[in-house]
Amino acid sequence: MPVNPAFFFVFSQCIIKKYSKNFTSVTFFLARLLLIIINKIKSSMKKIKLAAIILIIMISNLYPQFQKTNGIKGGYFDLLAGDDSGMMLVTNRGNIYFDNGSGFTHISNSNIYFNNIQKSGASWLGVSGNKVVKSENNGLSWQTVLTGIYFDGKLWKTPERIFTLSSDTLYSSFDDGSTWEALKLNTELSLPVQGDTLTGMMYSIQSVYVIGGRIILAGFTTIPGHFTAIVYSDDNGQNWTLTYHNQQSLQVTSIEFYMCSLYISSANGVFWLDANLNWVEFNSGFNSTQPNVYKLYNFGDNLYASVLGLEDNLFKFDGVQWVNLGLDTWFGSLIYSNEKILVTSGWKILSKELNGNWQELPVDVIATTTDPETFNETTVFSRNNNLLYRTTDSGENWEIVAENAGNFAIKNNKLYLISESQLKYSGDLGENWTIISNGIPQSYLPKMSAVTEVNGELFLGFSGTRARMHLPPVWEQGGVYRSTDGGASWSTINTGLPREGNVPVPVSKILSSQNFVIAQTIQGTYIFENGAWRNILTGPIQSGNLISFIESKGSIIAQTTKGVFISSDKGLNWELHQTGLPFSTLSWYSFSLFVYQGKPYIAFSDIENILYELNSGEWSVSESIELPQGFNVRAFRSFGDALYCGTIENGIWKYNPVPNSVKESKAPSGFVLSQNYPNPVNLSLGVNTTKINYSVSDPSKVKIQLFDINGREIQTLVDNFVNQGNYEVNIDLKELSSGVYFYRMYSNEGVQTKKITIIK
């Protein structure tokens, strides 16, 4: 059966449009489709070649520019919920991971900020803001099932139903959150006290429990002198009876029913209700006689208590007293699954069998918010959770090279790190460290805030303040130290900085470029020149704040809270520099300035990730680099041809110079990379070479490389310094296979890419 190549092209484009989110599936489909075509039209080799070329072109349009590296593993996890059938792990920006027993896998980025999540039957319920959402597919999608609830996002799960709260209404659901019943809550409560009757309302519920047909609430009331109370209702919330009120200082935080008795936690410990309806203190075994017990948990017929303000903060009731479980770190969520206790503690998930020790649960996912710092094209460092990571293979493998890591800097192939109240230096990519902060006052060492190096000189900033009630903080450490001998000796360089008595202003950050050093302080931003500091927040940005800056052709381009400004005289004068930017609709805190291949870029991540590049003094949407979508990008660092991107909760990504759609770049006048001729190159006709013309408007370093469809470099065609003018290069293609290739030109004026098609 003959196949019309035009029909094949249109049909395949429809398939791509429908399934473009799944690159692997589309590639597999197109490959199978190509095999069918080949089998059907063996008699026509020309048609086969044409179909193959079209297929390659379409696959090239799917090839991503940015690809996720294999790190950094882990993340900051807010919520852990579930039971023996599965666990859901959620970050604070709604990244959801699910574990059904074989390890956590990424389910979705819901973009929902969850306050609470509970398993209810086969469904999951979550509270986000003032609404309850429900998922029936383990977090892949969510639908709103209730709106107008209370802002603190509580969900209470009882054996028969689940509860949530608005300001004056208690909602309950018997069908796993699909429908909700509103129960009257804000009922007037009366309390006889010494012949008088006090009245008030329940205004905040801390805990809910149901036993039989009785609903029990613990919370706060407006009754004078009786601010905490427990009330119950036997008629589904129509009437409420006050049962506990006699300790003003007792702030009830949770309720649990255990072994036929009711237990409450409070700031004064744990109490249980005896047969005479008296509350009996039960704090035996705690490290304090009146521990501040945050919450009670009833899992697997075992009662647990979390305690605030203690090094050991989780206890189990053994039937006689509370037993310390040896958890010496704070924790957020706690669940019981498959006979193990599991807790989230920031970057960690800890697990403990009933009679075992605490162990960190390996979580092989990438949910980190982290920024890259490039050492060279393949070696990148990043600090995450006070650990300094390194990759030497472009992100395929990451390893920890320093613990207790603070701010660090990479300058001129040198690595500097603030760690453990010392400034350290490494000349072997973090394998070994040398302390170079000797000579700095001992009281200053713990207050190091930032380090950088410019032209062989080290700059070390300090920030130390002491808070005062209703008054500005006292400056205790501040200013900058400088070393001109690699850290062997240090001296202060604080001329020009504000002072408070004998203490210079605390420095929060030191930024540097090839020629500039800029210090951000709590009283302005200063540039260092001629041995002194000078305030550069003057003129139109005088009342703004500098967020970051880049150096471009000797000028400073500054990201500020008032917009983008440029100064060509080291901050003496500033001009607004945002022509072409949608500055009226975007937040200045949501963009990142960076330089790649000598060209300034701005990446926005307000609504979607958009990249602008600077051409002839105006910003325009980049046609050469496309940012990944679906999450927030936040920091970019480059080295040579390599560009790395740090994201929020999606690890570090690397830019692949082969574009996912072949576009003609808008280049400055005089900077031109022409289409090769002839193109396509038909080797079967004996045409083995093709010619490329290019031109530059200024003397420039020029590099032209040839890539295959997968982004692998085939050949470097040009790599030298050229003067202004027009140039030509011939390429011999006889050793290459049929297909689509790309050639890319880098110069001081920008980057351009073109496509070559080869036919054999």
pLDDT in tens, 679-711: 888 887 788 889 999 988 877 888 898 987 666
* Residue 316 exposed, middle or buried by CB count within 10 Å (0-12, 13-18, 19+): middle
pLDDT of residue 738: 84
- Three-state DSSP at 51 gives helix
**Is the per-residue pLDDT at 315 higher than 80?**
yes
Residue 584 lies in a domain: yes
**Quick count: other Cβ atoms within 10 Å of Cβ 514?**
10
Instruction: Check whether residue 453 and residue 419 sit in a common domain.
Output: no
**Is the per-residue pLDDT at 411 higher than 50?**
yes
Q: How many whole angstroms separate alpha carbon 2 and alpha carbon 10?
A: 16
Task: Encode 326-385 in three state secondary structure.
Answer: CCCCCCCCEEEECCEEEEEECCEEEEEECCCCCEECCCCCEECCCCCEECCCCCEEEEEC
Instruction: Check whether residue 389 and residue 467 sit in a common domain.
Output: no
- C-beta separation of 263 from 303 below 8 A: yes
- Three-state DSSP at 31 gives helix
Quote the pTM value.
Answer: 0.73
> Which of 444, 391, 394, 403 has its CA nearest to residue 421?
444
pLDDT of residue 17: 37
Domain tally for the chain? 4
Mean pLDDT of the chain: 83
pLDDT of residue 81: 93
Instruction: Check whether residue 430 and residue 442 sit in a common domain.
Output: no
- Tell me which residue range forms the domain holding 418: 370-435
**Is the per-residue pLDDT at 36 higher than 50?**
no
DSSP annotation of 168 reads S
- C-beta separation of 55 from 34 below 8 A: yes
Over residues 545-561, the mean pLDDT reads 88
- Min mean pLDDT across 367-376, 445-454, 700-709 is at 700-709
Boundary of a domain, candidates 588, 621, 655: 655
Handedness of CA 382, 386, 388, 389 (dihedral sign): negative
Confidence of residue 521 (pLDDT cuts 50, 70, 90): very high
**Is the per-residue pLDDT at 571 higher than 50?**
yes
Greatest mean pLDDT range, 110-124, 145-159, 184-198: 110-124
Instruction: Check whether residue 410 and residue 467 sit in a common domain.
Output: no
Instruction: Check whether residue 421 and residue 442 sit in a common domain.
Output: no
Residue 140 lies in a domain: no
**Quick count: other Cβ atoms within 10 Å of Cβ 239?**
12
Q: How many whole angstroms separate alpha carbon 260 and alpha carbon 182?
A: 28
Instruction: Check whether residue 458 and residue 553 sit in a common domain.
Output: yes
As a residue count, the chain comes to: 760
What is the edge-to-edge ordering of all strands in the sheet holding 546-552? 546-552, 555-560, 563-567, 575-576
Q: How many whole angstroms separate alpha carbon 107 and alpha carbon 94?
A: 11
pLDDT tens-place string over residues 319-349: 899 999 999 888 889 998 888 999 998 888 9
Boundary of a domain, candidates 435, 452, 481: 435
Residue 271 lies in a domain: no
Over residues 639-665, the mean pLDDT reads 77
- C-beta separation of 496 from 533 below 8 A: yes
Boundary of a domain, candidates 34, 62, 90: 62
- Min mean pLDDT across 331-345, 387-401, 646-660 is at 646-660
Instruction: Check whether residue 429 and residue 444 sit in a common domain.
Output: no
pLDDT of residue 528: 96
Instruction: Check whether residue 410 and residue 453 sit in a common domain.
Output: no
**Is the per-residue pLDDT at 290 higher than 60?**
yes
- Min mean pLDDT across 113-122, 435-444, 590-599, 702-711 is at 702-711
pLDDT of residue 303: 93
Q: How many whole angstroms separate alpha carbon 734 and alpha carbon 546?
A: 55
Instruction: Check whether residue 699 and residue 612 sit in a common domain.
Output: no
Over residues 672-680, the mean pLDDT reads 86
The CA dihedral of 13, 17, 21, 25, to the nearest 10 degrees, is -40
Residue 188 lies in a domain: no
Q: Give CA separation, 323 vs 286, 328, 336, 588, in Å.
A: 8, 14, 17, 52
**Quick count: other Cβ atoms within 10 Å of Cβ 360?**
11
Instruction: Check whether residue 586 and residue 566 sit in a common domain.
Output: yes
Residue 507 lies in a domain: yes
Q: Give CA separation, 114 vs 81, 153, 438, 621, in Å.
A: 12, 8, 47, 34
Q: Within 13 A of 738's CA, how many CA atoms are on the CB side?
A: 15
**Is the per-residue pLDDT at 11 higher than 60?**
no
Greatest mean pLDDT range, 669-673, 729-733, 749-753: 729-733
**Quick count: other Cβ atoms within 10 Å of Cβ 168?**
14
**Is the per-residue pLDDT at 727 higher than 60?**
yes
Instruction: Check whether residue 628 and residue 725 sit in a common domain.
Output: no
Residue 141 lies in a domain: no
Peptide bond into 678 cis (omega under 30): yes
